[in-house]
Amino acid sequence: MFGIIVVIHEWGHFIVAKLMDVQVNEFSMGMGPKLLQWGKKETKYTLRLFPIGGYCAMEGEDAAGGGEISVSEVPAEQAADNPRAFNNKKVWRRTLIVVAGATMNLILGFVLLLGYFGICTMPDDTTGKVYYAGTTIADLPETALSYQSGLREGDALLKIDGKRVFTVMDIQSLLQDSDDGTFEMVVRRVTDGKVEKVTLPAVSFQRDPLADGGYRLIYDFKVNAIPQTIGSTLSQSIKTECSVAVMVWRSLGNLLTGRYGLNELSGPVGTVDIIGDVVADAVEQQHWQDGLANVLMLIVLLTVNVGIFNLLPFPALDGGRLLFLIWEGITRKPVPPKYEGWVHAVGMGLLLLLIVIVTFSDVFKLFA
């Protein structure tokens, strides 16, 4: 699964490079020793031993300072005279090629979510129809603590503690991210036919203590049910991808601020272990839709994660390459290739060091 996600990412670079008339020397599925090779024209297609990624090698890319996409085997001095070399294309063309990888990851996530909502959502036991969970309060007793602190039936949740709510996934994650069970909420409320935004400064929920010292927050309300239609399936898929993307972004922020420790970060080993657990659970599921749904949602999380991570403005990633292109577009002068190459080399070294540390942590957790 992880290999497919990375290959889809590189395929995005490949397709747009072809559309931008950039010479692609090799498109590889997998890493390591070569197993198969085919293609008699300018592009070689290879299948390599380890299914953990892939790359798209473009002529002249090395002359443009290296980066995440790949390293071209063609010397920079040869690529300099080739009008189809990556580094000889206009900035906007190179920009499209660079962002295409992450874009394909997000497109893959959306397509998988269409399958998740269109195929894997279980029908209601009483009506036999499929419904999606919305973000509007549909059932809230007056005895509920959240009702007593301001929440009302019919309120559409817009923000929780200043963070945007797209789906019920956001509600669940944000309500669990609290130390005291009290939240500031912004809701859309209809009063006497008038729609208004209302800020509720302190909506509280009951909490049950757990044996490990934590707590379990009690949801004292239900949300509305949205009937399955083509429109609602498209809408839920888009909103859920936004929720996953925001969750990934928030997690990165929490990692940088120290809310999450480095031991909570997973690398390739930890990711494969998680995939294995989810697939094993899926095989044991009594209803195949439940198992497939869990697998699809995990792949969505992984592919969106790969897409967002690659757009971070860090050397050796697509986002680092994008920063240099933005600079070139503004100043009309490219950064000298050797300096850009040095920056990407340092970034790659730091990324490899991080991978080694995280992998060691993953292996330790496997045997702990």
Q: Does residue 74 register a pLDDT over 80?
A: no
The pLDDT assigned to 364 comes to 81
pLDDT average, residue stretch 229-234: 93
Top CATH class, 131-227 = mainly beta
Residue with tokens 């279980």: 122
> Which residues are within 8 A (CB) of 230 and not within 5 positions of it... i.e. 6 or more apart?
none
Q: Percent of the chain at pLDDT above 90?
A: 43
User: Which amino acid is it at 242?
Assistant: C
**Residue, of 357 and 103, whose pLDDT is higher:** 103
Nearest by Cα to 135 from 7, 239, 246: 239
Nearest by Cα to 200 from 147, 137, 139: 147
pLDDT tens, 298-323? Answer: 899 999 999 998 998 888 889 999 99
Q: Does residue 357 register a pLDDT over 90?
A: no
Number of Cα atoms under 13 Å in the Cβ half of residue 159: 12
Domain locations in the chain as residue ranges? 131-227
Specify the pairing of strand 156-160 against strand 194-204: unpaired
Exposed/middle/buried for 165, CB within 10 Å: 0-12, 13-18, 19+? buried
> Which residues are within 8 A (CB) of 274 and not within 5 positions of it... i.e. 6 or more apart?
266, 298
SS3 259: coil
Cα 53-50-345 angle, rounded to 5 deg: 50
User: Which amino acid is it at 227?
Assistant: P
Put simply, whether the predicted model's pTM sits higher than 0.85 gets the answer no
